[in-house]
A and B are shown apart, each in its own frame.
Chain A
Amino acid sequence: MNRLNPRRILLGLSAPVLALIVAFVITSIILVLFGDPVREVWSTILKAPKPRQTVQIINAATVYYLSAIAVAVGFRMNLFNIGVDGQYRVAVFAAAVFAGQAWLPGFLNIIVAIIVAMVAGGFWASIAAYLKVKRGVSEVISTIMLNAIATGVVSWLLLKVADRKEGSNAIATKTIPESSQLEGLKLIPGATNRVYTLIVLAVVVGFLYWFVLGRTRFGFDLRATGRSESAAVASGVNVPRMVMTAMIASGALAGLIGMPLLFGQDHNYGTTFQSGLGFAGIAIALLGRNNAIGIAFASLLWAFLDIQSNALQITAGVAQEIVFIIQGVILFAVVIAYELIRRTDKRLEQQRVARELAAQRKAQPATEGAPA
């Protein structure tokens, strides 16, 4: 009768557990085939992280989380915003340039720069949204192309505004003033490094994501559109406007991805800024099933694998890229497992409905002796 019956929990747990086991086995086979030390690899990856690494895991997960939520907003209404990658780069560049000017004092500078990032990301996404709504261009194609354009635009602008430091070969925007740099939070005892202050951004975004999608009318409309566009239209949802809104929201959230890095670590945007975060977000959103909590765990798992794999070259002499294989296999396995479980779940539910109705009928004075 309730939503959390044991069968569902069991079914729900089995998908990720299965995926992890499959990933473990496949990766081990690959390692064995190529003569790499299986035991060392796993003992390195599964070693308890040091406090310093725990901080790194949390930090990496923070950024992944923001990225995955940005992707998930689109996913929830069947919009595939592959362009999160381009959107966050445009956004972080805009924010870095703005914050670097130091027009505003300390904290205010951060707030406004974050808004600048969201506007820039939203704007970049709105191009794809416009093309989809007005011209029927698939958002998958337009966002992929916009990613390429974003790369070009950002590098071209970066060369224009680059602030070259003496003796350095890197090119980057002007470093943001110290008053606007966030030192981080000392959350993990014994760690020399700190957790990004802007982890609060991830917490707020996660909460808002859950709240807006789960509790508001807007969220209901968005989810209805994702589940069945035709039913949403018939229920009065203005689908084109919904596409526009969701895409821009996704882009604006993508704009936040680089913020913890910008204010808590790099302090400028340049050639060494982390790339590919948007694509990781797609994987993590899939793994976390577009659920605010699920994505949090998926981000932590992703970050855990990333950080733990850092030591692989040193302790096991295995290229750290093996972790991409693990992540890829997990993703593959989990997507397949989710689909299998969705089907099983559907079938079991239909059977359960039939069974319970049959039981109800039996309980009543039966007019018809027939079973079924």
Chain B
Amino acid sequence: MRHAMKVAAVMSVAALTLAACGDSGNDSSPSGSGSSDSGKKSDLKVGMAYDVGGRGDQSFNDAAAAGLDKAKKELGVETKEAAAVNGENEAAREERLQQLVDAGYTHIVAVGFAYAASVGKAAKDNPDVNFAIVDDASDDSKGANVDQITFAENEGSFLVGAAAALKSKAGHIGFVGGVNVPLIKKFEAGYIAGAKAVNPNIKIDSQYLTQPPDFSGFGDPAKGKTAAEGMYQKGADIVYHAAGGSGGGVFTAAKAAGDGKWAIGVDSDQALTAPADVRDKILTSMVKKVDVAVYDFIKSAADGKELTGPNEYNLAKGGVDYSKTGGHIDDIASKLDDYKQQIIDKKITVPTTP
């Protein structure tokens, strides 16, 4: 009973404070649904719900943020951002989207497949608001007001795989995946296919840093470094990573491994975004243009043509690509562009599973 009384006190105090502060609250935006007939550009209010890590993760979320920034600059839209908390509940994701709706945001971008079910539900509850989800095209997120954005990571990875095979002197390359999930397997599949298209006998080491639900493989450079070191020691001379923040470790390992060892970046052009001391070790990067897709979604809305339904950003649409920063692959660019054209022309079909 004693304990009960104590905690009762907590709650009553909490309740009192609540009552006191409840109406003195801030200028909460009027809730309700904004209209989607955004003829005037500046009327558009875009909310962005990031995955864990949020803006500043130097990876996926940052790519989405770049698209948002571009839209803000060019279209003058009003924006609001919120990031997920590690290990959170489905309800928390739903609530985040709903909070954005309540705050009057008419176009909401959810970054990451974790939002699939939440977007599906929020879209149903708020038919007047338009949603976009990155990296999901499942029934969970499906809706008349949902833009399901996916990328042909396998196609982009095919190109860097081909680049690796062309550049490898050892005939031995590696792949480091962050977490063993289907999405990352798609990277692996394309990479292998690309490398084998160049050199059917090439040796490819593959390793995943963690198994779900442990997602630390996307943010643990130490793990990435250990994995890449192993590959370089075993003779691989080029390692491609699809491991988010862990990729930093892969670059460090490449630097330590010395001349003739290379790393390949992912998502953005990492020869521009990685720490300066390792940039020269980045052969190329598989660029996944989340910014393009996000900007597309906002731009279309601004133009009055809401994007909905599944939209795969592939090579043909310029959604994925390889980067040439540093000039390390200028000598093989024509070969890569040739492969690119074959894929666009559907002469080559890139597998999605290894």
Contact = CB atoms under 8 A, between A and B. Distances in A.
A12 B85 contact: no
A272 B90 contact: yes
A271 B215 CA distance: 9
Contacts of A276: 86-87
Interface in B72-89: 80-83, 85-89
Contact of B10 (A169, A301, A310, A316): A301
Given A165-B138, A192-B125, A275-B87, A293 B22 contact: no
Given A271-B213, A300-B11, A314-B82, A168 B6 contact: no
B276 interface: no
B138 A13 contact: no
Contact of B140 (A3, A17, A20, A165): A165
Contacts, number: 205
A301 B11 contact: yes
Interface stretch (B63-71, B180-188, B190-198): B180-188
A368 interface: no
A295 B7 CA distance: 8
A274 B4 contact: no
Given A16-B9, A298-B7, A170 B114 contact: yes
A281 interface: no
A293 B3 contact: yes
Interface in A50-89: 52-53, 56, 59-60, 63, 89
B136 interface: yes
Chain A interface, DSSP helix/strand/loop, else mixed: helix
B182 A294 contact: no
Given A155-B211, A159-B180, A275-B213, A168 B116 contact: yes
Contact of A273 (B96, B181, B213): B213
Interface stretch (A36-44, A122-130, A357-365): A36-44
A158 B212 contact: yes
A172 to B, nearest CB: 10
A4 B1 contact: yes
Interface in A286-308: 287-298, 300-301, 304, 306-307
Interface residues of B, number: 68
B323 interface: no
Nearest to A290: B3
- Which of B5, B7, B47 has most A Cβ within 10 Å? B7
Interface string B148-192: 101000000000000000000000000000001111000000000
A156 interface: yes
A294 B13 contact: no
A301 B138 contact: no
B22 A164 contact: no
Interface in B86-134: 86-92, 94-96, 98-100, 103, 113-114, 116-117, 125
Contact of B3 (A273, A291, A304): A291
Interface in A146-164: 151-152, 154-156, 158-159, 164
A293 B5 CA distance: 9
B334 interface: no
A43 B23 CA distance: 9
Interface in A1-47: 3-4, 8-9, 12-13, 15-17, 19-20, 39-40, 42-44, 46-47
B184 to A, nearest CB: 9
Nearest to B4: A293
B116 A319 contact: no
Nearest to B140: A168
Contacts of A314: 47, 80, 82, 99-100, 103
Interface of B: 1-11, 13-14, 17-26, 28, 47, 54, 80-83, 85-92, 94-96, 98-100, 103, 113-114, 116-117, 125, 135-140, 148, 150, 180-183, 211-215, 310
Interface of A: 3-4, 8-9, 12-13, 15-17, 19-20, 39-40, 42-44, 46-48, 52-53, 56, 59-60, 63, 89, 151-152, 154-156, 158-159, 164-171, 192-193, 261, 265-266, 270-276, 287-298, 300-301, 304, 306-307, 310-311, 313-316, 319-321
30 contacts: A8-B5, A13-B8, A13-B9, A16-B7, A17-B13, A20-B10, A20-B13, A20-B14, A46-B22, A47-B25, A52-B95, A56-B91, A89-B213, A155-B213, A166-B137, A166-B138, A169-B183, A261-B89, A261-B90, A270-B213, A274-B90, A276-B87, A289-B3, A292-B4, A293-B8, A297-B11, A304-B14, A313-B81, A316-B26, A319-B54
Chain A to chain B: the 7 pairs with minimum beta-carbon distance, closest first: A167-B137, A168-B138, A291-B3, A289-B3, A275-B87, A297-B7, A293-B4
